[in-house]
Structure 1
Amino acid sequence: MRWTWRQAVSRRMSRHFLTVPVAASAPAAIPAAAAAICGVHAQIASAAELQLGVRMPVITRTDVRRALWTDRSLVKTYGPRGTVHWLPAADLAIWNGALSAIPARSGLPESARLSAAQSAEVIRAIADALDRGAPTLEVPVGPVLDSACLTLDELDSEVVRRTGPWAADPVVPMFGGMAPRWRQAIAAASYTGVLVFGPNRGPKTTFTRAPVSSLIDETGPEPEVELLRRYLHAYGPASPRDFAQWLAAPLAWASDVFEGARLEPVSLEGTEVWLNAGDAEPVDPPARGVRLLPYFDPYVVGSQPRSLVYPGRASERALGRGQAGVLPVLLVDGVVAGVWHQRRAGRRIVVTVESFSPLRARQLAQLEPEAHRIGEILEGDAELTIGDVAVRAHA
């Protein structure tokens, strides 16, 4: 089957609820929306709130925060590429099973790495510390959390106390200096179902015990194949290389996962790519109109090839060293055609949009409700301006 790029864009826009929003717009549908786009990139919390809000016509940031910290239907944890994501609590076993199956790679010198035995010891120490809490500290517990919420500094003390001085060796490069050796096991601890993020304590991040749903089901289907199926549903047609880049996984591993799945090959502009078996019909009609997507929106982060998602000037202006999502983007007919920025003062939110080519009157008119929706989600009053966006890309 031959596919055009326009057909691929239309399919992805539809699967990401950027053509027609989520039908069930009540807050209860938030985890389903997060599942459909294969997780919400939460490196910037306000951007993550927007990622869900632009796909759901009613919810606000208050609804999203309730799903995270009160209902716990969303969980803040480590997701694709080892980056912070909000994932549906019901899907954690699949995510953890798939992510823990990816061969581990470390950029640290061998002398700085944890051995397998040390990593296992650290993970046991993390679990014990979160179960018991710090003995000299009154630790806040979340609304429905049944274990302690500890900051990194508190975990430093508790893990070293339970393991040994070697865990405190400052060998892991971090922003502003070197972190203790044990911290390189934090993501692994999340993938084995030990920890997730807790509510912030002031400006400090906390960690707490993962819910039971995060435990890997050893008797179920291969989680990496299930994750591939979900990825292709949202981002297909795609290749093993696309899947590997999305997960920051070795290409050989991704190719093996493709081999073990039921897929159909299609030709996308002359390149062989794949879709799930029985899900290879193009979506009509073509995607039209303008959309404003926030930092690290999954649609642009997961879509390939970059040269077509970010055509022309967009590749120079809206990508950071080839990395997608480092700037909020203007989509025109499903591809990046500009950037935007929002600046807040009290309830007033000024949304500035820079288009890389002149917009038609109909497209300009569509920007007004897009900016208005940004204000609704962030619980403020948005004002739209057209002009140059001078902010730098986010790291």
Structure 2
Amino acid sequence: MHSQFPSGTATVAGIAARAPGIQAQDAGAARLGLRARGLAEAAAVQRAYQAGEVVSSWLMRGTLHLLLAAELRPLLAVFGVRNIAAGARRRRELGLTEAVLGRAVAALPEVLTEPLARAALVARLNEHGVGVEPTGQAPAHLTAYLAGLGLLCRGAEVAPREPGYRLLPPGEDEGDPAALAARYVAAFGPAGPADFAAWSGLPLTVARTAFAGLPEVGDGRYATGEPPPDGEPLVRLLGAYDNYLLGYRDRSLMLDQRYAKLINAGGGVVRPALVVDGRVLGSWRRDGGRVVVEPFGRVPEELWAAEAAAVEAFLG
């Protein structure tokens, strides 16, 4: 856990450089994920997007991740085609036929001349005769398809809670699962190929090949870097869907199975968690401006009180 949550403050770009993508399906949870890894100010996320340092796109497991802008194309080379193939049936169900998709691809450079919210982007595409149903799930699946092709990405918000879509400059990069595996192990290790496959969504055969050459530490697990330092307990209040909670095939080492459903509620929901030295010891929620921690069993408040106050200050 210490490799994911080092002490001290860091920039959005610095955190993105260490982490192989911050889960960003929920923008608020992504900001909390960055805070847990050293970000001091929530507004810094928007500034990093505006500066073009970071972007978001659909990558590991087909979900949205925040990452360094320079790393997007190499990762799209690994995940783009896979994610497009995985969504083909749902696109057909939503009326996103090959003809509709072709018209969208052709019109996009003329339409997306400035950052646009998704609804505005779809409206402009339809003005060019693309024919996308503007309500329901079709707009989301269309933008994910265009992102998988490497044509657009998500950037700074164009209005509160409205991420803007912008063109992705042309470029070619080779995807390298082995390079991604090395970065994954540096952040999540000790971990094994099965963990990497669960986190990334890549087949286990690809994961095993990607791990070839990494230093094994025993029990089929691999690690890089130094062991965690001794000292005070490392306490973090993690947001929903945090990387740490999604990074392993088996969560039993971090989460007592008696409490598993209080964090992983089913249906893909992963709730905010109190984590102490790698163990999930409770959940938390916001009540107005307050952070309310709900520990599992007897966990002294003095252990997490300072962290709760820090989260309240971060969230404003």
TM range (shorter): 0.7 to 0.9
User: Structure 1, residues 369-393: CA drift from partner, whole Å, max 9, x if none?
Assistant: 10121122123xxxxxxxxxxxxxx
Are positions 1:72 and 2:52 aligned together? yes
Q: 2:138 corresponds to which residue?
A: 179
Q: Distance in 2 between matches of 1:48 and 1:111?
A: 30
Matches within 5 A, 1:245-394: 245-258=198-211, 261-268=212-219, 272-275=220-223, 279=224, 282-283=227-228, 285=230, 288-321=233-266, 323=268, 326-344=270-288, 349-360=289-300, 364-379=301-316
Tell me if structure 2 keeps the 8 A contact 1:93–1:216.
Answer: yes
Q: Distance in 2 between matches of 1:107 and 1:337?
A: 40
Tell me if structure 2 keeps the 8 A contact 1:92–1:215.
Answer: no
Tell me if structure 1 keeps the 8 A contact 2:116–2:158.
Answer: no
Q: Distance in 1 between matches of 2:129 and 2:137?
A: 19
Matches within 5 A, 1:45-194: 45-56=27-38, 59-69=40-50, 71-100=51-80, 102=82, 104-106=85-87, 108=89, 112=93, 119=101, 122-131=104-113, 148-160=114-126, 162=128, 164-165=130-131, 168=132, 177=136, 179=138, 184-194=141-151
Q: Measured at CA, do residues 191 and 287 of structure 1 come closer, stay the same or move farther in structure 2, by a change above 3 Å?
A: farther
Q: Distance in 1 between matches of 2:72 and 2:307?
A: 32
Q: Measured at CA, do residues 312 and 21 of structure 1 come closer, stay the same or move farther in structure 2, by a change above 3 Å?
A: same
Aligned pair count reads: 313
Counterpart AA for 2:299? L
Match of 1:240 among 160, 180, 193: 193
Q: Secondary structure at the match of 1:288?
A: coil
Match of 1:30 among 2, 7, 12: 12
Counterpart AA for 1:209? L
Tell me if structure 2 keeps the 8 A contact 1:313–1:356.
Answer: no
Deviation at 1:256, TM superposition (A): 4.4
Q: Secondary structure at the match of 2:264?
A: coil
Q: Distance in 2 between matches of 1:239 and 1:115?
A: 39
Q: Which moves more between the two structures, 349-358 or 284-293? A: 284-293
Please provide the CA RMSD for this pair: 3.2
Q: 1:390 corresponds to which residue?
A: none
Deviation at 1:206, TM superposition (A): 3.4
Are positions 1:230 and 2:230 aligned together? no
Q: Measured at CA, do residues 84 and 111 of structure 1 come closer, stay the same or move farther in structure 2, by a change above 3 Å?
A: closer
Are positions 1:197 and 2:154 aligned together? yes
Q: Measured at CA, do residues 149 and 313 of structure 1 come closer, stay the same or move farther in structure 2, by a change above 3 Å?
A: same
Deviation at 1:92, TM superposition (A): 1.9
Identity across the alignment (%)? 29
Are positions 1:14 and 2:2 aligned together? yes
Give the unaligned 5+ runs of structure 1: 1-12, 132-147, 171-175, 380-395
State the TM-score, normalizing by the size of structure 1. 0.68
Q: Which moves more between the two structures, 284-293 or 313-322? A: 284-293
Tell me if structure 1 keeps the 8 A contact 2:116–2:166.
Answer: yes
User: Structure 1, residues 298-324: CA drift from partner, whole Å, max 9, x if none?
Assistant: 11121342122221322132112285x
Deviation at 1:53, TM superposition (A): 1.7
Deviation at 1:238, TM superposition (A): 2.7
